């Protein structure tokens, strides 16, 4: 995520997120340890949070503080804490600065600082995290002149991410642009393509169109048409071109070919509906009738993918290729950070959870870029998390890992042993590639409830009492993790 919140608000929101993670009482000591803060600081943030929630949310969100029980967040089921994030973000200095810069209502930081009663040194310190975030979009932040420098498409992409992160499409931060006219334009374009779009996707698309319209009113237009290798000149483009042109006419904006192409291109590069993109990708050919660059990039990806994951070829649904097409359209023209690691925590730990898969997906990615389609693969920050997430959606990642063999030696009897096997698999099959074998063949781990100590070289042993208790489940996880780290990676 973009670091929009001020530091104190970041800590408050982290505390709120922790309280929201479970419907139970937390001790102050537990909160302090989890957030690596002192208990005194936790009490301060709790007091501030209580005040903010009472001011903005009433009883929909409120914090209960009990000397005997601890601290608990109460919230109504139809609201989530992002509403609080939005309030915090709107009051942050980063939001005020970038929103002012987008609207171009202030020319210099001197004027901005005077109107916000702060020093330039304070502003520079506050914006330091955002400077790195902006660089991820291949842009440079000129704080003194309140300007983003870089490709116009990237500037628009950054502001789209900026506003979507805060508002999720449900508020309208563009005062000079009529939302109803934008939504009418979207309906017009969709009718031309004869495909529906979900409400949330329309809201996302409406932000893009509002940003385009606003930038054009300030005379920030695209400098050249899109490259022919992207295959924009096709029957689908011709079908919706009149509707796209009417969008510019609605706002009395200049009719520029590059701007029309860019709006059409956005429908390829972002998840705006499977049905729409099926038609767009089918039409995406160059003037000679060959696949355009992003579609060729998908063919190359699949060829390299078969080399590193031969057992998975043919298992992926057609939608797997469709989603790869979208990623490669994105990569051919845009670059930017991905918030997938924040939304899917397993992306931060997949290298330890699936070491063999992680090794192969990294090798796969390194083999992509030397191809003539290399520009589609250049944005690792965006693409690699999406590739990993796609694979986790369509394939069993544990199948790429070395098999860990388990053997049971118990006096439970065959029926109860099968139940134990099923419970072990249900708990660990998403993390480990497990296989049960008989005790007369080689195995990695023996699980037994027999009272006599069994410990021989060549394998590990876990002794349980009658059935698994919490300690023994934890011990089993530790042993499986240890065995996995000792297994060699597949070539």
pLDDT, average across residues 429-441: 90
Residue 333 in contact with residue 153, Cβ under 8 Å?
yes
Do residues 140 and 149 touch, judged by C-beta distance below 8 A? yes
**Cβ atoms of residues 280 and 266 within 8 Å:** no
Give the number of other CB atoms < 10 A from CB of residue 456: 8
Q: How many CB atoms lie within 10 A of CB 444?
A: 23
Three-state DSSP class for residue 311:
helix
For residue 288, what pLDDT is reported? 57
- Eight-class DSSP state of 41: H
Res 490 pLDDT > 90: no
Torsional sign, CA 228, 264, 214, 95? negative
pLDDT for res 290: 67
pLDDT at residue 315 tops 80: no
Residue 416 pLDDT exceeds 90: no
Judged against a pLDDT cut of 80, whether residue 257 lies above it is answered with yes
The helix/strand/coil state of 63 is strand
Q: Which residues lie across from 148 on neighbouring strands?
A: 141
Pairing of strands 434-436, 404-409: parallel
Least confident of 383-392, 393-402, 427-436, 465-474: 465-474
Report the distance separating Cα 346 and Cα 190, nearest Å.
36
| Tens-place pLDDT, residues 320-366 | 999 999 999 999 999 988 888 888 888 999 998 999 999 999 999 99
β-pairing verdict for 147-149 and 140-142? antiparallel
Crossing angle of helices 93-103 and 120-135, in 10° steps, is 70
pLDDT attached to residue 491: 64
Q: So what's the pLDDT on residue 286?
A: 59
**Angle of the 7-20 helix axis to the 28-35 helix axis, nearest 10:** 120
Between 86-90, 273-277, 388-392, the lowest mean confidence (pLDDT) is in 273-277
């Amino acid at each position: 995520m973009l670091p929009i919140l001020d530091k104190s608000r970041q800590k408050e929101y982290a505390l709120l997120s922790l309280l929201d993670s479970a419907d139970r009482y937390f001790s102050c000591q537990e909160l302090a340890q989890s957030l690596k803060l002192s208990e005194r600081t936790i009490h301060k943030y709790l007091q501030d949070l209580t005040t903010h929630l009472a001011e903005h949310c009433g009883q929909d969100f409120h914090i209960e503080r009990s000397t005997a029980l601890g601290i608990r967040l109460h919230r109504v089921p139809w609201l989530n804490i992002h509403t609080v994030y939005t309030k915090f973000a709107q009051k942050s200095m980063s939001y005020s600065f970038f929103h002012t810069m987008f609207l171009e209502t202030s020319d210099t930081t001197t004027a901005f600082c005077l109107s916000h009663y702060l020093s330039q040194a304070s502003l520079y310190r506050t914006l330091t995290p955002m400077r790195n975030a902006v660089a991820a979009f291949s842009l440079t932040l000129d704080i003194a002149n309140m300007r983003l420098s870089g490709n116009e498409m990237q500037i628009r992409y950054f502001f789209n991410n900026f506003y979507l992160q805060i508002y999720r499409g449900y508020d309208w931060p563009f005062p000079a642009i009529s939302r109803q006219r934008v939504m009418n334009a979207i309906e017009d374009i969709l009718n031309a393509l004869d495909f529906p779009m979900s409400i949330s996707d329309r809201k996302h698309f409406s932000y893009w169109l509002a940003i385009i319209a606003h930038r054009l009113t300030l005379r920030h237009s695209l400098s050249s048409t899109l490259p022919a290798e992207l295959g924009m000149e096709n029957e689908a483009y011709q079908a919706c071109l009149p509707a796209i042109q009417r969008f510019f006419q609605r706002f009395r904006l200049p009719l520029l070919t590059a701007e029309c192409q860019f709006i059409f291109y956005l429908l390829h590069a972002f998840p705006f509906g499977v049905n729409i993109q099926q038609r767009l990708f089918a039409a995406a050919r160059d003037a000679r009738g060959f696949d355009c660059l992003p579609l060729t990039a998908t063919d190359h990806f699949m060829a390299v993918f078969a080399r590193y994951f031969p057992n998975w070829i043919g298992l992926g649904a057609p939608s797997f290729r469709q989603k790869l097409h979208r990623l490669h359209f994105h990569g051919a023209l845009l670059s930017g950070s991905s918030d997938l690691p924040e939304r899917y925590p397993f992306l931060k730990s997949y290298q330890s959870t699936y070491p063999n898969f992680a090794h192969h997906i990294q090798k796969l990615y390194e083999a992509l870029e030397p191809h003539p389609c290399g520009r589609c693969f250049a944005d690792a920050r965006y693409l690699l998390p999406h590739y990993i997430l796609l694979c986790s959606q369509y394939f069993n990642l544990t199948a790429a890992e070395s098999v860990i063999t388990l053997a049971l030696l118990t006096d439970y009897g065959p029926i109860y042993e099968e139940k134990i096997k099923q419970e072990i698999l249900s708990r660990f099959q998403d993390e480990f590639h497990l296989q049960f074998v008989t005790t007369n063949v080689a195995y990695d781990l023996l699980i037994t409830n027999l009272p006599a100590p069994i410990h021989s070289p060549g394998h590990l042993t876990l002794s349980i009492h009658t059935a698994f208790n919490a300690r023994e489940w934890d011990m089993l996880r530790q042993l499986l993790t240890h065995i996995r780290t000792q297994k060699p990676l597949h070539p």
